[in-house]
Amino acid sequence: MRSYAGVVFGQLVFATICCFPVPVAFLLAYLAWSEGEEWAWIPLTVGLAGSALIPVMALRLARARFPRITRRDRVNDEGVQYGERTFVAWAPRSPQGHAQAQLVRADVLEASLVRYSPEGEAAWTTYGGDFTPDEFTPLVRLRLRVHAAEETEAAAGFAEFETTGEWRVPSLCLSAVTAGRLAVLVGPARPAGPAGQAGRRDRPVVTPLWPSSALLAGTRTCRVVDLEGRLTDVTRRSGRLLRQMRISRAAGGIEMAGDTIDLRRLDAHTASRYAAAAEQDRVSPEGTAPVTEPGEEARWIVDQLPGEPAAFGSVGRRWSRRGGVLVRARFLEMRATHTFQDHGPVLDTVLRIHPADGTPPFEAARRLTVPLDYLALLHRTRDVVLHAHPDGGSFVIDWARTSLLAGTTTARVIAPDGRELPLSGSPDVIWSLMNLLASHGLSNPTPVLDLRHHRMSTVAGTLLEMVPAAP
């Protein structure tokens, strides 16, 4: 992993090249001074101003390109309240769809990436207005099973059916595809063939609502404050969430403060409908849906998306000797911007960092480039791995370790006798192994930890004891 000093030096060279008129101004000032010209002070002033601009420009570019969190990023607003499991994702709005369309649930049976083709002409690409370009929005082919909700089946005029199509999926909503639950609008049918052709059935128009799908999938958490002020967590309660979405759509939209809907702030009619949905849930309690629906392997698009290669991670010997440690943080909020990179969007994020010294956790707000393969797993984890500076004053996001902890690639341990031990679904074990390696200054830039290597001999026994069910 590149060091911050290395990034600053690289940006300093880049800024110097961009500000090439600066040395030209100094040269012109010298020539004018040697000739005794009175205007020599003008290019000299330009050169001095440009010289001061170069380091400022370099530092700003380095901050934008290096995922480093410092004290200046701490959130000091006491009004920001995030629960321990809260996650808020602000994604672009979905199309409203036909007025007669019905809002129902669809299960993703299969998914495959069709195209993700950023031009790659620049490291950062920014668009004005409320525009998200197609080249930075993955095109995904989906096979869906569309359900007709019980209370609207008669009105909708359709029974459960399957459909296949290609849709642009906003980066912040990719996890809904992996989780396997979507909220879709089923509009009036359109002819499947030429008009008047006999024996051809009409096809309903299916439009995924991506932010609502992220909510239905459990990526974004959801809580409701009732009229008496009681707080209820409805995350991953699919039936109730769908009923709430229908009420919100009929009302023209409901404002969520963070991840919370407060019925006391709604009009009386809408609040009463929400209260009726809550009463229905109380009379017929609904179980929490699974984190991911069965058949995840058929919709596993994570391997097809760009991102940082997962690994147990590299270790700087100087950082390790001085007492540097790994710490865990958790994303609490992600908000879309209009800046993109080839391997992921640039997002405004809020993280909760848990210092290794046991001091209370704190929140930090930082604009970061988040890899697409990590975004596709937000329904399973929002954890992130940080390098803590020995003095505790700054933290650097380690995307290689974060990707391995998230499960973008299956971690494996090869025992000294050659046995292969997969660590799928064991993030706590992976975290312990990472920490032990870092504390001993041992780098392992792959997702496979081979204990047969001589450099691993001193810690092989301890590492093997951490692996569960090692035969």
Query: Which residue, 250, 280, 298, sits at the end of a domain?
Result: 298
Residues 135 and 261 in one domain: yes
Task: Provide the domain count of the chain.
Answer: 3
b/e per residue 91-116 (b: at least 16 CB within 10 A): bbebeebeeebbbbbbbbbebebeeb
pLDDT of residue 153: 43
Q: Do 259 and 323 sit in the same domain of this protein?
A: no
CA atoms within 13 A on the CB side of 103: 24
CA distance 367 to 135: 21
Q: Model's pTM, two decimal places?
A: 0.86
Q: Are residues 375 and 431 in the same domain?
A: yes
223 found inside a domain:
yes
Q: Residue 260: inside a domain, yes or no? A: yes
Type of residue numbered 53: L
In a domain, 77, yes or no: no
Tokens of residue 436, six digits: 């032990």
Do 391 and 409 have their domain in common? yes
Whether 82 is in a domain gets the answer no
Asked which of 283, 298, 313 is the last residue of a domain, the reply is 298
Residues 308 and 385 in one domain: yes
In 304-410, beta strands by DSSP E = 325-341, 344-353, 362-369, 383-388, 394-397
Residues 260 and 324 in one domain: no
Domain limits for position 210: 89-190+201-298
Decide: 220 and 170 in contact? Cβ < 8 Å: no
Same domain, 151 and 233: yes
Q: What is the pLDDT of residue 120?
A: 62
State which of 238, 263, 298 marks the end of a domain: 298
Within a domain: residue 108?
Answer: yes
Q: Check whether residue 155 and residue 282 sit in a common domain.
A: yes
What 121-127 contacts at long range (C-beta under 8 Å, 24+ apart), as own/partner pairs, is 123/65, 123/341, 124/64, 124/339, 124/340, 124/341, 124/346, 125/339, 125/340, 125/341, 126/338, 126/339, 126/340, 127/338, 127/339, 127/340
What does the DSSP assignment read for 285-333?
Answer: --PPPPSS-S-GGGG--GGGS--PPP-SB---HHHHHTT-EEEEEEEEE
Residue listed under structure tokens 């590149």: 2
Give pLDDT, residue 122.
56
Q: Looking at the structure, tell me whether residues 212 and 316 fall in a common domain.
A: no
Residue 79 within any structural domain of the chain = no
* Same domain, residue pair 329 and 368: yes
- From the first residue on, what is the mean pLDDT of each consecutive set of 10 residues in the chain (471 residues)? 64 69 74 78 76 72 77 74 85 73 94 87 70 86 88 58 94 96 86 50 83 94 92 93 92 85 92 91 89 95 94 86 88 92 91 89 93 96 92 89 94 90 89 92 92 89 81 44
**CA–CA separation, 210 and 177 (whole Å):** 10
Q: pLDDT at position 200, please?
A: 45
Same domain, 356 and 444: yes
CA–CA distance, 245 with 250 (Å, rounded to integer): 9
**CA 111 – CA 178 distance, rounded (Å):** 8
Task: Say whether both 110 and 222 belong to one domain.
Answer: yes
**Is 71 domain-assigned?**
no
Q: What is the pLDDT of residue 455?
A: 87
210 assigned to some structural domain: yes
